[in-house]
Amino acid sequence: MAKGDVLVVAGPSGSGKSTLLRCINLLISPDSGDIYLDGVKVNAPNIRPEWVRQQVGMVFQQFNLFAHLTALNNVTLGLRRALKMSRPEAEKKGRELLTRVGLGHKADAYPAELSGGQQQRVAIARAVAMDPKVVLFDEPTSALDPEFIKEVLDTITQLARDGMTMIVVSHEMSFARNVASRVVFMDDGVVLEEGTPEQVLVHPTHERTKTFVDKILE
Amino acid sequence: MGTEARPRQSRFYQIWEKVAAVAIIILAAGGFLFLLNYTSPIKWDYIIEKFPSFLSPAALTLMITVGSYGVGMAIGFSLGMLRTAKFRPVRILATGWVEAIRGTPLFVQILLLFALFSYYNPGDLALPTRLLVTGFLAMMINTGAYQAEIFRAGLQSVAAGQVEAARAVGLGYWGTMRSVVFPQAFRVVIPPLTNEFILMLKASALLSMINVKELTYFAKIETFTGNLVEVYMIVTVLYLIMTVPLAKIIAHLERRYRIPGLGMQQETRARQTRSSQSVTVRIAGLDLSQVRRGLPGRERTFI
C-alpha cells in the first residue's frame, strides 16, 4: 500500500477480513506471512506490539469507546498514557479532533449519552489522534442504525480526502466506489480479487465475486 | 438487582408508600417489644445506664472488622488477579485456595486456627493478644477468599472490546489495566464489597466463641447477671448503628459518582420509563411499552 491509499476490503462474513485487520496491528499474531509498516517487518520478536499499535489506528465495529471516560478523555487516553503527552497539550489536540468530526460540543459527554453515529465518530477521532501511519476500519457502519450510517461514512470520506492512509472493511459499495483507490475481495481467508473499484465491483472476473456483488447491489 | 423499571407513580402514591412502610416498621417493632414486655417488663433504665459501657467493645468489633477486611482486600485483589492469570498452575492454585476457604464454615476456620495457636504460640503472645490475633487472621483469610471472587467477577465483567481498544491505542498490559480495566471493574465491585464488609462485621460475633472481647462476647458476660433481653437489645441496636448508615453512605456515593452506562443504572432506567410513558401506545387497552418489558404494569388500563 502506498501512502494516502484507501483500500476497501469486502467479502462474505467469516472470510477473514477482521482477522486480517487484527493481524496488521498485532492484536492477533499471523500464522504465516509478514506485515511491513514503512518497510519494517513488524511481526518480529524484536518489535514491541505497542510500538506498532501506536502507529496503526483502529476503529471497531462495536465502537468500543471506553465506557468510563468522556468523549474527550477517550480521544486523549492514548496520547497521554502511550505517547506521554502532557494533559493540556493532549486536550488541545483532542478538542481539535472532536471538532473535526463535528462533536466539539460533546467533549464532556460519556459514550452512553451519545448516539451510535456519534460514538463511532469519537472512535474515529480517537484513532486519528495518535497520528497513525494507517487507520484500520473494521466494518465501521454495520452496527449502526441506518440513519447514522451517512454521518460516519462522510467522516471517513473526509479523512480520506485529507490524505489519510486507510484500510476499510466495508460492504458499503457506494462508499467503496467513491473513496477507494483499490478494492480487495476476500473469501475463506484468501484474496480472490484485487483492483480498482471499477475492476472489482463493476467487472469482476471471479465467479464468487460476481455473486457477492450482485447480492449486495440487489 | 431488584431495580426493575416501574411506571412513575403519582405524588400522592409515592408519599403514601413511604408512610405505609414507616407505619409497618413501627408496628412490627412495637409488637415485638410488647411481646418481650409481656414475659418480664423491659428495664429501660438498665438499658440507658449500661449502653455507654457497650461502646468500647463495639469499637473493638469495628476495628477487628475494618483491619481484617482491609488486609483481606489486598489478599482478595491479588488472588482475584491470579484467578484470571494465563498461566494455568497459578490459576488452579488460586482457585483451589478460594474454594477451600469458601467451602468451609468461618466458625470452623476460627476453631481450627484457635487449635493451631493453642499448640504453637508464635512470639509467645499473652493469651488475650493471642486470641485477638487468631480471630483477626481467621477473618482476614476468610474475607480474602470471598473478596477474591468479587474482584475476579469485577475484572471479568469488563468487556473484551474495552481491552482490545486500549491495546489498539498503544497501551501495554499494565497501562490497559490501570487506565481501563481497573476503573471499570472498580464501579462493578463496590456494591458486593460493601455487602461483604457488612457480612464480616456481623460474622465477627463468632469470635465471641474463642473469647475475643468484642461486642457479642461482652454481652454474653453481661448476661451472667441476668437482663438477657436488655443486653441483646443494646447489642442489636449497636450492630444496626454500625451497618445501616454505612450501606446508606455507600449507596449515596455510588449514585453521586455514577457514570452513565456503567454500573448501577437506576436513574437512567427511570428516565427511559418516564419518556416511554409519555408515548404510551394503547391497543385494545394494552399498554405496549409494558407488554414489551414484561412488567406487571400497575397503571395499565383496560378499555
pLDDT of residue B9: 67
Looking at the complex, does the CB of residue B169 fall below 8 Å from at least one CB of chain A? yes
Half-sphere exposure of A156 (CA within 13 A, CB side): 33
CB-side neighbour CA atoms (13 Å) of B105:
5
Question: CB burial class (10 A; 0-12, 13-18, 19+) of residue A7?
Answer: buried
CB A180 within 8 A of CB A5: no
| pLDDT of A69 | 94
More confident residue, A187 or B163: B163
Residue B70's pLDDT is: 97
Is A130 in contact with A82 (CB distance < 8 Å)? yes
List, in order, residues 6 or more apart from B18 with CB less than 8 Å away: none
C-alpha cell at B182: 481497573
Q: Provide, as residue numbers in chain A, all residues whose Cβ is less than 8 Å from the Cβ of B260.
A: 110, 112-113
Query: Is the Cβ of A42 closer than 8 Å to some Cβ of chain B?
Result: no
Nearest chain A residue to B182, by CA: A68
Ranges of residues in chain A whose predicted pLDDT is under 70: 1-2, 217-218
The 10s digit of each residue's pLDDT in A139-162 is: 998 888 888 998 999 999 999 988
Residue-range domains of chain B with CATH? 8-39+276-303 (no CATH), 42-257 (1.10.3720.10)
Q: Is B237 exposed, middle or buried (0-12, 13-18, 19+ CB in 10 A)?
A: middle
Q: How many helices and strands in chain B, by DSSP H and E? A: 13, 2
Strands (E), chain B: 282-283, 286-287
Query: B169 and A113 in contact by Cβ < 8 A?
Result: no
The pLDDT of residue A194: 85
Cell numbers at B78, concatenated: 491479588
Interval A34-57: pLDDT, tens: 788 777 787 877 888 888 888 899
Q: Please, what is the average pLDDT of chain B?
A: 84
Cβ distance of B268 and A83 shorter than 8 Å: no
Q: What is the pTM of this model?
A: 0.80
Please, which contacts does A15-22 make with residues 24 or more away whose CB atoms are closer than 8 Å?
A: A15/A186, A15/A187, A15/A188, A15/A189, A16/A186, A16/A188, A16/A189, A16/A190, A17/A138, A17/A139, A17/A169, A17/A186, A18/A61, A18/A138, A18/A139, A18/A169, A19/A189, A20/A169, A20/A186, A21/A58, A21/A136, A21/A138, A21/A167, A21/A169
A83–B170 CB contact, under 8 Å? yes
